[in-house]
Amino acid sequence: MTDTPTQLYLVRHGSTELNEAGILQGNSPANLSGVGRRQIRGVAAWLAQRDDIAAIYSSDMNRAVQSAQIIADAVNLPVTTTLELRERDYGPYDGLALEAVKTTRTQNGFPTVDPFHDWHGVTGVESDTAVYERFRAFVQPLIQQHTGKGIVIVTHSGVIQGFLYGTYHIPPERLFAFRIERGGLFHFVQQREFLEMRAYYPGATIFLNE
C-alpha cells in the first residue's frame, strides 16, 4: 500500500448560455458558452501542473463532457462518462427561468429564499440525500481503485451541493452554506475514511494569465 493520499478534484462544468440566461437547465443538452470554455481552460491549466492525475470521469451531459474534454486535452488522459454524475433531477422545475421557478414553488407551498439551490422537501425533485448517496456510491470505489493518485470528476452544482452537505453533515435547512460557481474546482484529500477539503477555487479563470 502507498502512504500517498488519494486526491479528488471535483469540478463544476463551465457556464452555458442557459446558465447566463438564468434558466434552471437540469437535464437539458446545453453546450458550453465562450465564457464557459474560458473558465474550464483555467481549470485545465491548473490541473496540467499536477503530476498525480490518473483518471477523468464526467457526467454524460454535453456541458460536462465538453468541460472534461478540455481538461483531458491538457493532461493527456481519456474521459470516462457516466449518468451517475448527471445533474440533480429537478422534475417539474427543469427548464424554467428563475421567476417561473419562484412562481411554481410559491404555488406549491415551498419557500423561495434560495430557489435554485434549496430543494429540501420539494416534491418531485431528487433529494439532497438521494444525490449524496448516488455520488458516494460512484466515487468510493474510484478512491480505492486509484489509491495514491489524483481523480478528476466533472459534474454539476446540484451533485456537488448534495455531496458537500452529506459529507460534512450540514443540515438541509442551512441555506447558502456553499456557493458553487461555474468552473469552480474543489480539491479534496482522502484522510483515512474522511475527505478533507484542501481548497476551493471559485471561478477558475483566476488560473489563466490572460
Q: Rounded CA gap, 61 and 63, in Å?
A: 6
Whether residue 17 lies in the annotated active site: no
d(CA 103, CA 27) in angstroms, rounded, equals: 21
* Separation CA 12–CA 160 (nearest Å): 8
Is 87 an active-site residue? yes
Helix (H) or strand (E) holding 73, with range, is helix 62-75
- Other Cβ atoms within 10 Å of 118 Cβ, number: 20
C-alpha 37/C-alpha 57 separation (Å) is 18
- Quote the DSSP letter at residue 131: H
Grid cell listed for 121:
422537501
Distance, CA of 23 to CA of 199 (rounded, Å): 29
Q: Which of 13, 146, 156, 187 is catalytic?
A: 13
Q: Find the catalytic residue in 17, 20, 84, 87.
A: 87
What's the count of helices (H) and strands (E) in the chain, helices before strands? 6, 6
Distance from C-alpha of 192 to C-alpha of 159, rounded to nearest angstrom:
23
C-alpha cell at position 7: 486526491
Catalytic positions are 13, 87
